[in-house]
Amino acid sequence: MKKVWKVLGIVFICLVLFWSVINVIPPKKNVENNPFIVGEGQLPMIAAHRGGGDNNPENTMMAYRKAVNEIGIDIIESDLYLTQDGYLVYNHDSYVDRTCNVNGAVSYDQMRDIISDKNNRHYIEDMTLAELQQYNFGYYFRDENGNYPYQGQDVDFVGLGLQIATVEQLFEEFYQSNPDLLFIVEIKNGGERGKLACEKLNDVLQQYPNYLDNIVIGTFNDEIEEELKTNYPHLMRGAPTGTAAKFIITQMLRVNIFDNGDFACLQIPTSYDLGITLTLDKKNIIDRAHQRNVAVQYWTINDADEMRHLIELGCDAIMTDNPVLLKQVLDEYR
C-alpha cells in the first residue's frame, strides 16, 4: 500500500508540475497585429449589428451612414449573400421579404403570413442586383413610436439610402472619410457559392487595400472556413462555433498551450445552452484570449445593464442592434 501511495503521489506531483509549466509558458499569438483589441483600461468598441437595426432600417446605407457619422460607432457588423449575378449584398436572412416591399404594399402581419410558406420567399441567390434594387428595404422598419416612417408611394427610398447595399457601396462610402473604420462580416452562403463569395470579397478588398487589415470574416460553414484559411490567409477570421468552443474549453481547463487556433476574434454570446447553461461572460476568458492577441466580442447585447457588465469585464467590442443606447452607456463611463 505504501508503494501504491508513493506512486500516486509521484503521479500527482508530475501532473501539478506539468499543469504549472504549461500555464507559465506564454502562449503564441494567433495574429501579430489585431486592430479589434482595445488598449488596457479602454472602453469597448461599438459594433453596430446589422448597422444598428433598432435605430434605423437594418443593413441599409441609411443605417450605416447614421451609425458612423451621427452615432460614432467603431465597427459595422453585417452578413453577406451572393446575388444570382455575383454581387455581394448585405442582408441578415437568405430572403428579403422581412424587410422590403417585394410582396407589394401589404401589412407586416400579411407579409409574415405570406412567408410562413418557404416557397413564397424571395431568395437573394435567385435574384439579380438590379431586381433587388427595385425595393424599399426600410418598408417594415418601425420607429420607437411603433410607426412605419418609410412606407408610402412618395418615399424616395433610393435617395434615402434604403436600397439593398453592396460591399462596394459600403467601402466606397467610408474609405476616404473613415480609414480606421472596422468591419465584421459573415459569409452566409455555403458550397460553391460560398467559395465564390470569398473570392468576390477578396477581389473587392483589393480595390480598398487599407481595409484589408480592418475586416474580420466569419462563417458557420466548415467548408467556407477551410476555404478562407487555405486560399485567403491574409484575411483575418473570426472563430467558427467549433473552434470557439475548443478555445473556451481549453481556457477553462487552463491548458491553453494546446490550442492551435489562428483566428483574430472570438465572437460569442454571454451564455450558451448545451443542455446545461455554459456561462461565457467571464474575465478569465477575455484575459486568456488577450494573451493570444485575440479580441473578444459579445453578441447581441441590447440591455443597458448587460452592456455595463461586459464593459466592467474588459471586453473588446459589444455588438448591438441599438448603438444609440450603447453610446449612452459608454458616455456614462467617459
Q: What is residue 130's predicted lDDT score, i.e. its pLDDT?
A: 98
Confidence of residue 18 (pLDDT cuts 50, 70, 90): very low
What CA–CA distance (Å, rounded) separates 317 from 48?
A: 10
* Contact present, 292 and 27 (Cβ < 8 Å): yes
Predicted confidence (pLDDT) per residue in 194-214, tens digit: 999 999 999 999 999 999 999
Q: pLDDT tens across 130-182, in order?
A: 999 999 999 999 999 999 999 988 999 999 999 999 999 999 999 999 999 99
What pLDDT digit, counting tens, does each position of 121-131 carry?
999 999 999 99
pLDDT tens column, 266-296 = 999 998 876 777 889 999 999 989 999 999 9
pLDDT in tens, 203-243: 999 999 999 999 999 998 989 999 999 999 999 999 988 77
Please give the pLDDT value at position 144: 92
For residue 304, give the DSSP letter.
H
Asked if residue 4 is part of any domain, the answer here is no
What is the three-state SS of 100-143? CCCCCCCCHHHHHHHHCCHHHCCEHHHCCHHHHCCCCCCCCCCC
Q: Is residue 15 part of a domain?
A: no
Average pLDDT, the chain: 91
Query: Cβ distance 76 to 181 under 8 Å?
Result: yes
Residue 73 in domain: yes
Alpha-carbon gap, residue 64 to 273, rounded angstroms: 32
Residue 26 lies in a domain: no
305 assigned to some structural domain: yes
More confident residue, 56 or 255: 56
**Residue whose C-alpha cell reads 453577406 in the numeric block:** 80
In the chain, the DSSP E strands lie at 45-49, 75-82, 88-90, 182-187, 215-218, 236-237, 265-268, 271-273, 277-279, 295-298, 317-320
Examine residue 149 and state whether it is found in any structural domain, yes or no. yes
Domain enclosing residue 282, as ranges: 44-333
Residue 179 lies in a domain: yes
| 29 part of a folded domain | no
In the chain, the number of structural domains is: 1
Q: Domain with 172 in it: what CATH number? A: 3.20.20.190
pLDDT of 245-265, one tens digit each? 778 877 767 666 656 678 999
Contacts of 306 (CB under 8 A, 6+ apart): 270
pTM of this structure: 0.90
Instruction: Work out the average pLDDT over 6-16.
Output: 59
